Amino acid sequence: MDNKCAPIIQSLLDTDLYKFTMWQALFNSAYIVNEAEYRFVCRQPPSMSLAELKDDVIRELTHLCSLTFQEDELNYLRSLRYIKSSFVDFLSIFRFQQRFISVEAVGDSLEIVARGPQVHVMFFEVFVLAIVGELHARRWSQEQALLEGRARLAAKINQLQAFAPEADKAQAMAAMVFFDYGTRRRFSHAWHEEVIKTLMVEVPQFFKGTSNVFFAKKFGLTPMGTMAHEYLQTFQAVPDVPLRLFQKAALDAWGNTYRGDLGIALTDVVGMDAFLRDFDLRDAKLFDGLRHDSGDPFEWGEKALAHYESLRINPTTKRLVFSDALSIEKAIALWRHFADRVQVGFGIGTHLTNDFGPSYPALSIVMKLVRCNGRPVAKLSDSPGKTICDDATFLAYLRDVFKKPE
């Protein structure tokens, strides 16, 4: 690895909005005392050893731990009406502590664990993923990879421009809009920026925002995002919440924090069916909509619409956000299926920021909450291979409590 390369992370805003919104919800609550453990997982072993990146990852994390929020960054966060001044005051003195994160080579794999106070270690996640992904991508021929990436981006733009007349004619339907959700698995920071700038110029009628706070600030885009799995999983392991009620407790705490802002709820921590059993009339009215992140998106959307109708809520007043392994083609298909019945939005990640063809495959990596307050937590996904838990006994118990079979 070329040690002359500039550090990958240059700003603590270079992460997803929902890291800030979840962070604030826990910071401004009794759960500020939580202890947590986050663990890096590569779902599919790559052709090249990740263990070789250990020293470079440590070097990048050392630089990350030297960064602080700058005054203009704090002012930007303060300008978002749902971010409280007390939280920004905390961020003004925040600095990562390297003692809370460890990096080890285990065979060909990397073992990266962040362990400590949750309000300190939860912020590592997206940065770790972006660092590992970019270090891995630097091992390809950059010139050849970028040629392929630009050709594929141009094909996506052509596809959207060809679709534009259909979208324009469908005036009675919900608009077709999508957002960049690609920070965590991007090819590089520079490529991420190039993709956003290109989409802003070429398809502004479709491209409406980004989850990346740094680029939202830089380009005047809307920062997108509400909550992720770790937020709801945390409530599986707090002392005053029975396991059966963890989803209700998480949604209640969110509503108390944001009072109607940031109203898209994530549904797949224990599966869509179990979520809907807890998503009662009050929650369905309070939250603006739902986000899909596992399972068949068409089946999921039909269940959501049926649930709203069973509660006598007009689905056209709600929004369904799709974000699971989306492509432009799949987003258009979902828009055609749902847009005459409900508002829709599409968060597209790897397909935008790390689509370089089979010769340059993106890593399938996550960094998930696995323990909180010394207790295991789990994500029971509706997609095979996305369930995450390191305690088989707890996983079986969770399945039993929420009536979710293998």
Q: Would you give per-residue pLDDT tens digits along the chain (406 residues)?
A: 444 589 999 999 999 999 999 999 999 899 999 999 999 999 888 888 999 999 999 999 999 999 999 999 999 999 999 999 999 999 999 999 999 999 999 999 999 999 999 999 999 999 999 999 999 999 999 999 999 999 999 999 999 999 999 998 876 678 999 999 999 999 999 999 999 999 999 999 999 999 999 999 999 999 999 999 999 999 999 999 999 999 999 999 999 999 999 999 999 999 999 999 999 999 999 999 999 999 999 999 999 999 999 999 999 999 999 999 999 999 999 999 999 999 999 999 999 999 999 999 999 999 999 999 999 999 988 887 777 888 999 999 999 999 988 7
Residue pair 40/128 in contact (Cβ under 8 Å)? The answer is yes
Q: Tell whether 8 is covered by a domain.
A: no
Same domain? For 344 and 375 the reply is no
Query: In which element (H, E) is residue 382 found?
Result: none
Same domain? For 205 and 293 the reply is yes
Same domain? For 218 and 208 the reply is yes
Total number of domains constituting the chain: 2
Q: Which residues contact 114 (CB under 8 A, 6 or more apart)?
A: 37, 38, 39, 100, 101, 121, 124, 125, 128, 367
- Smallest CA-to-CA distance from 170 within 374, 310, 341 is with 341
Two tokens, residue 129: 């993923």
- Smallest CA-to-CA distance from 398 within 291, 259, 246, 217 is with 246
Q: Tell whether 5 is covered by a domain.
A: no
- What is the distance between the alpha carbons of residues 346 and 363, in angstroms, rounded to a whole number? 22
Same domain? For 367 and 346 the reply is no
Residue pair 292/334 in contact (Cβ under 8 Å)? The answer is no
In the prediction, which pLDDT does 1 show? 42
- What is the distance between the alpha carbons of residues 19 and 181, in angstroms, rounded to a whole number? 13
- What is the distance between the alpha carbons of residues 355 and 143, in angstroms, rounded to a whole number? 15
Q: Tell whether 341 is covered by a domain.
A: yes
Pairing relationship of beta strands 222-223 and 207-210 according to DSSP bridges: parallel
> Where in the sequence is the domain holding 60, given as residue range(s)?
17-140+363-401
In the prediction, which pLDDT does 3 show? 46
Q: Tell whether 358 is covered by a domain.
A: no
Q: Which DSSP string do the residues of 298-359 spell out, in sequence order?
A: HHHHHHHHHHHHHTT--GGGSEEEE-SS--HHHHHHHHHHHTTTSEEEEEE-HHHHS---TT
3-state secondary structure of 83: coil
Q: Tell whether 332 is covered by a domain.
A: yes
In the prediction, which pLDDT does 2 show? 47
Same domain? For 98 and 203 the reply is no
Two tokens, residue 28: 């401004």
Same domain? For 322 and 185 the reply is yes
Q: Tell whether 308 is covered by a domain.
A: yes
In the prediction, which pLDDT does 249 show? 97
Two tokens, residue 101: 């994160």
Same domain? For 302 and 370 the reply is no
Task: Report the CATH number at residue 79.
Answer: 3.20.140.10
Crossing angle for the helix pair 54-64 and 124-137, to the nearest 10 degrees: 140
Same domain? For 171 and 228 the reply is yes
Residue pair 354/317 in contact (Cβ under 8 Å)? The answer is no
Query: In which element (H, E) is residue 200 found?
Result: helix 189-202
Same domain? For 87 and 191 the reply is no
Query: In which element (H, E) is residue 248 found?
Result: helix 246-258
Same domain? For 375 and 276 the reply is no
Q: Tell whether 379 is covered by a domain.
A: yes
Same domain? For 172 and 252 the reply is yes
- Of 353, 375, 390, the domain-final residue: 353
In the prediction, which pLDDT does 406 show? 76
Residue pair 121/64 in contact (Cβ under 8 Å)? The answer is no
Question: Strand pairing partners for 178?
Answer: 207, 346
In the prediction, which pLDDT does 277 show? 97
Two tokens, residue 211: 């989850």
Rg (CA), the chain: 21
End-to-end CA distance of the chain: 43
Q: Tell whether 244 is covered by a domain.
A: yes
- Smallest CA-to-CA distance from 37 within 113, 90, 104 is with 113
Two tokens, residue 269: 């921590």
Same domain? For 166 and 40 the reply is no
Q: Could you give the maximum distance between any two Cα atoms of the chain, in Å?
A: 61
- What is the distance between the alpha carbons of residues 371 and 238, in angstroms, rounded to a whole number? 11
